[in-house]
Amino acid sequence: MNTRILRLLCGFAGTFLLTLNSVQGQLLEPTEPESVGLSSAGLEAVTDNLRQHIEAGHVAGVVAAVARDGKLVYFENLGMMDLENETPMPADALFRTYSMTRQVTSVAVLQQYDQGKFDFDDPISLYLPQFAGQRVLLDPESSDLSQTRTRVGDITVAQLLTHTSGLGSRSSRLYRENNVRDKTISLDQMVDNAAKVPLFHDPGTEFRYGIHATILGKLVEVWSGKPLQDYLAQNLFAPLAMEDTMFWAEGADAERLATVYRPTEGELRPYSIETVSWTSRPGLIEGGVGLLSSVMDYMHFSQMVLNRGVLDGNRVLDTGTADLMYRNAVPAAAMPIGNRGYWLGSGWTLGGFNLVLDPDTYDFPVSAGTIWWDGSAGTRYFIDPRQDMVMVIMAQVSPSRGGGFREDFKRLVDAAITERR
């Protein structure tokens, strides 16, 4: 392997040996970009652009990776993990993934489906009876608990997977006023809280992005008989070599947790999105937004999705079940999604994966059928079946736009493809 690809894969010269050993120990074997139809020069432009975003103060640091045909062609760790202490961004930095947690929980749900634990059309009240009598707001913009009506239909597992159950966002006024979600409470308490307040609309009638995956996490506990964190560790993290994915970081792991920054008066300043620390066990083990992870761990997860449920010989989903993640499962009654038409020109696939159906409506080139989503602190992944590629980029910035560093990353990686399929 020549020095150019080594530098691309390893990032800072100061962490050369550590990073190389870390990458070589992963399931995605490093290879030269040209061997799988990408340009090394094009990928160097990706790195140059990320450095520009760091120098401009959009993000403090970033880790990014690209694989094609199951081979790692790009891996960079740039900038700082901690500006105040001048700590360089390590290759194995831990990031708050927020909404990228949902996909992991959804795969756990699909595993339970493979085991025959439920049917997609099952009412969730079969397993969580507290949802049986839940009512609906007369006005979805209101938080007046006295203004409700009888619900039409039951919430199903499929509706939780497609954000069409009638549940809402953790940051909605209704939930905030009634303390539905708090990281200091237990998962059981949050589920009870969510069942006590009304739905925003009847199940199956509208798309509303919300706390669905957290409720799904409780269902995984019911079906498997195990705490969510234990189930994920045994059935996803171990077979997918996701050793750096966890709900909280202690000891040496805590030292790899990147600081979240917010642009303030022209400079990046530390910012706490949550009042509860990520370095000790929270009360709430939250399948919607609770995971920490590394770029390489999420590359493994993404490659498994691309491979239709298998990674390095370890099958975690039946092929037919994995195929469901590539299909729009939002019911016709709930389309178009929200008040912007299709969600960024997209449909929503079973499991909460965002599937780009019309690349002409998006603001950078993507292949039709690309699956992607992101987290509210600056993380994002892409799974492109047509080009046989996975891409993951992570920083820690709130708001998450960071000057468009993630959009530039995808656009420039796309431009580096020399053999398009």
Peptide bond just before 88 cis, omega within 30 deg = no
Rounded-to-integer distance, Cα 335 and Cα 347, Å: 9
User: What pLDDT is stored for residue 371 in this prediction?
Assistant: 86
Q: Per-residue pLDDT for 19 more than 70? A: no
Domain annotation covers residue 41: yes
Q: Does 259 lie in the same domain as 191?
A: no
Q: How confident is the model at residue 414 (pLDDT cuts 50, 70, 90)?
A: very high
Lowest mean pLDDT among 181-185, 202-206, 358-362: 358-362
User: What pLDDT is stored for residue 185 in this prediction?
Assistant: 97
Average pLDDT, the chain: 88
Q: Does 285 lie in the same domain as 409?
A: yes
- List, for residues 24-81, the tens digit of each pLDDT value: 335 899 999 999 999 999 999 999 999 999 999 999 999 999 999 999 999 999 999 9
What Å distances lie between residue 165 and 200, 262, 265, 290, 331, CA to CA? 9, 33, 41, 21, 11
Contacts of 24 (CB under 8 A, 6+ apart): 30
Q: What range defines the domain where residue 368 resides?
A: 3-98+229-415
* More reliable by pLDDT, 363 or 264: 264
Lowest mean pLDDT among 111-125, 163-177, 302-316, 364-378: 364-378
Q: Does 371 lie in the same domain as 249?
A: yes
Number of domains in the chain: 2
DSSP code, position 172: S
Contact 232, 104 (CB under 8 A): yes
User: What pLDDT is stored for residue 9 in this prediction?
Assistant: 31
387-407: average pLDDT: 97
Last residue of a domain, one of 173, 206, 225: 225
- List, for residues 353-367, the tens digit of each pLDDT value: 655 433 333 333 334
User: What pLDDT is stored for residue 328 in this prediction?
Assistant: 74
Domain annotation covers residue 297: yes
Domain annotation covers residue 248: yes
Q: Does 221 lie in the same domain as 126?
A: yes
CATH number of the domain to which 113 belongs: 3.40.710.10
- 356 phi, psi to nearest 5 deg: -75, 115
User: What pLDDT is stored for residue 292 in this prediction?
Assistant: 98
246-254: average pLDDT: 97
Q: Does 247 lie in the same domain as 187?
A: no
Last residue of a domain, one of 225, 254, 274: 225
Q: How confident is the model at residue 337 (pLDDT cuts 50, 70, 90)?
A: low
403-407: average pLDDT: 97
User: What pLDDT is stored for residue 326 in this prediction?
Assistant: 82
Distance between start and end Cα atoms, the chain: 25
Rounded-to-integer distance, Cα 339 and Cα 332, Å: 15
* More reliable by pLDDT, 18 or 261: 261
Q: Does 298 lie in the same domain as 367?
A: yes
Q: How confident is the model at residue 370 (pLDDT cuts 50, 70, 90)?
A: confident
Rounded-to-integer distance, Cα 373 and Cα 377, Å: 12
User: What pLDDT is stored for residue 361 in this prediction?
Assistant: 36
Domain annotation covers residue 421: no
Q: Per-residue pLDDT for 8 more than 90? A: no
Domain annotation covers residue 420: no
Quote the percentage of the chain above a pLDDT of 90.
81
Contact 383, 390 (CB under 8 A): yes
User: What pLDDT is stored for residue 369 in this prediction?
Assistant: 61
Quote the percentage of the chain above a pLDDT of 70.
86
Which residue in 354, 372, 361 sits closest to 410, CA to CA?
372
User: What pLDDT is stored for residue 359 in this prediction?
Assistant: 35
- List, for residues 114-158, the tens digit of each pLDDT value: 999 999 999 999 999 999 999 999 999 999 999 999 999 999 999
Sequence length of the chain is: 421
Strands 87-88 and 71-82: antiparallel
Last residue of a domain, one of 225, 248, 263: 225
Q: How confident is the model at residue 336 (pLDDT cuts 50, 70, 90)?
A: low
What is the C-alpha R_g of the chain? Answer: 21
